[in-house]
Amino acid sequence: IYNMNKELIIRKDDNAVDFALLKDGKLIELHKEEEKQSNFAVGDIFIAKIRKPVAGLNAAFVNLGHEKDAFLHYHDLGPNLPSLMKFIKLVSAGKIKDYSLKNFPFEAEINKDGTITDILSPNQSILVQVVKEPISTKGPRISSEISLAGRYVVLVPFSDRVSVSQKIESREEKDRLKRLVQSIKPKGFGVIVRTVAEGKKVAELDKDLQTLLERWMSMSRRLQTAPHPSKVLGELNKASSILRDVFNDTFSCIHVDDEDLYLETKEYLQEIAPDKVSIVKYYQSKDLPLFEKYNIERQIKTSFGKTVSMSKGAYLIIEHTEALHVIDVNSGNRSSKATSQEDTALEVNMIAAAEIARQLRLRDMGGIIVVDFIDMQNPENRKVLYDFLREE
């Protein structure tokens, strides 16, 4: 893992910023942020108005000031909704000046199998967070379990649970982080410890917590004067949020071809990883565009077609339907002597597994994905393939 070479290439043109994540020169992730910001990014927090709760759907339609109402399901209300509603009401009326929740008495939790019409009524104001951006005709999916994501921790107001990412495997490390966070956690807030917190010292976690607490305070201050509905807390800009989520010690370089963005990126790294600031490079060559220098254009062209070629003549066919994605693995024109068939199958399947893992990230594929690998008779080979795909 340590000699892995990860680079983030950031290109800005008139109306969009492209982020390409390369691992050993191969494109593994591509993000695009359009300038004409639709008013929604996942993570944005709005003070919104309930338009109407619908008993049959056990959900409410909520006005965020967007032409399409957002959809809030009962299960996304969060157990501590009554405390949140009371807080919003008191803050909006100017009755609370201390936003820290340490002296704020919590209300009883809601019943997890209740009905939306018992809890929400039309025209109420509610604080919600965007969970899923609007897709074509649907409005955004929202939740009223608010969480503020930082680099190492996520702060969850009106909760007191401390939980640690399942991806941290060591029992001792989980316990250490849990104890640590419990000792610095502000009263009235829950904390989720992210995977990257592994091995970090209390000072770094505490700094992260304080930054998030500060964001909560400034959002609460805004609530007093904000019109309902309106956005009260925006997510970080895309460069920072990508860095926050993907950046770690394995990065060897970040290239940016726009000066403002270059400074912004450095500033953000200064905040989260001061010792890494020097890896941000400003790319100014006029003759050779940044994406061409790193061969990204060509990789993009070959990465999104229906057919994906791999080494040794093997290729994938990727098809998307409404309900699922289907990937077919083909060995191309290999000789098929019966003895070598099993070995060939394993070899091609392994090449395919690595490429499939890359494609899933690249195309941001989720939901049901069916892969038709080449048949293998030997159960051990199947296990080898399964473990390898999982690892990738």
Does residue 132 contact residue 225 with C-beta atoms inside 8 Å?
no
Q: List, in order, residues 6 or more apart from 170 with CB less than 8 Å away.
A: none
pLDDT at 38 over 70: no
The proportion of the chain whose per-residue pLDDT surpasses 90, expressed as a percent, equals: 55
3-state class of 54 per DSSP? strand
Distance CA 206, CA 223 (A): 26
What tokens were used for 242?
Answer: 């990508």
Does residue 86 contact residue 107 with C-beta atoms inside 8 Å?
yes
Could you tell me which of 275, 283, 253, 277 has the C-alpha nearest to residue 265? 277
**Alpha-carbon torsion angle 350, 354, 360, 363, nearest 10:** -120
Place of tokens 């043109």: 13
Say which range, 113-122, 128-137, 251-260, 374-383, has the weakest mean pLDDT.
Answer: 128-137
pLDDT at 3 over 60: no
CA 53 to mean position of chain CA atoms: 29
Instruction: Tell me which H or E stretch contains 210.
Output: helix 202-223
Say which range, 209-213, 319-323, 350-354, has the weakest mean pLDDT.
Answer: 319-323
Total residue length of the chain: 392
pLDDT of 304: 78
pLDDT at 348 over 50: yes
Strand 45-54 with 125-132, pairing = antiparallel
Does residue 189 contact residue 102 with C-beta atoms inside 8 Å?
no
Q: What are the φ and ψ backbone dihedral angles of 270, each rounded to 5 degrees?
A: -55, -35
pLDDT of 335: 55
Distance CA 253, CA 7 (A): 5
Distance CA 129, CA 144 (A): 6
pLDDT of 2: 46
pLDDT of 1: 41
Distance CA 240, CA 225 (A): 28
3-state class of 133 per DSSP? coil
Q: List, in order, residues 6 or more apart from 334 with CB less than 8 Å away.
A: 312, 313, 344, 348
pLDDT of 39: 66
CA 162 to mean position of chain CA atoms: 20
Strand 324-330 with 368-372, pairing = parallel
140: preceding bond cis by omega (within 30 degrees): no
Q: What's the predicted TM-score (pTM) here?
A: 0.68
Q: Put residue 360 in one of left, alpha, beta given phi > 0 → left and psi -120 to 50 → alpha.
A: alpha
Distance CA 223, CA 214 (A): 14
pLDDT of 339: 59
The listed range with the strongest mean pLDDT (172-181, 241-250, 297-306) is 172-181
Say which range, 50-59, 86-95, 163-172, 326-335, has the weakest mean pLDDT.
Answer: 326-335
Does residue 41 contact residue 231 with C-beta atoms inside 8 Å?
no
Strands (E), 146-285: 148-149, 153-157, 162-164, 189-193, 230-233, 251-256, 280-282
Q: What's the order of all strands across the beta sheet hosting 280-282? A: 26-34, 16-23, 6-13, 251-256, 280-282
Paired strand residues for 369: 325
What tokens were used for 356?
Answer: 């499939």
pLDDT at 261 over 60: yes
Helix, strand, coil percentages (3-state) for the chain, rounded to 5, are 35, 25, 40
pLDDT of 162: 95
DSSP assigned state of 165: -
The proportion of the chain whose per-residue pLDDT surpasses 70, expressed as a percent, equals: 94
pLDDT of 336: 53
pLDDT of 52: 92
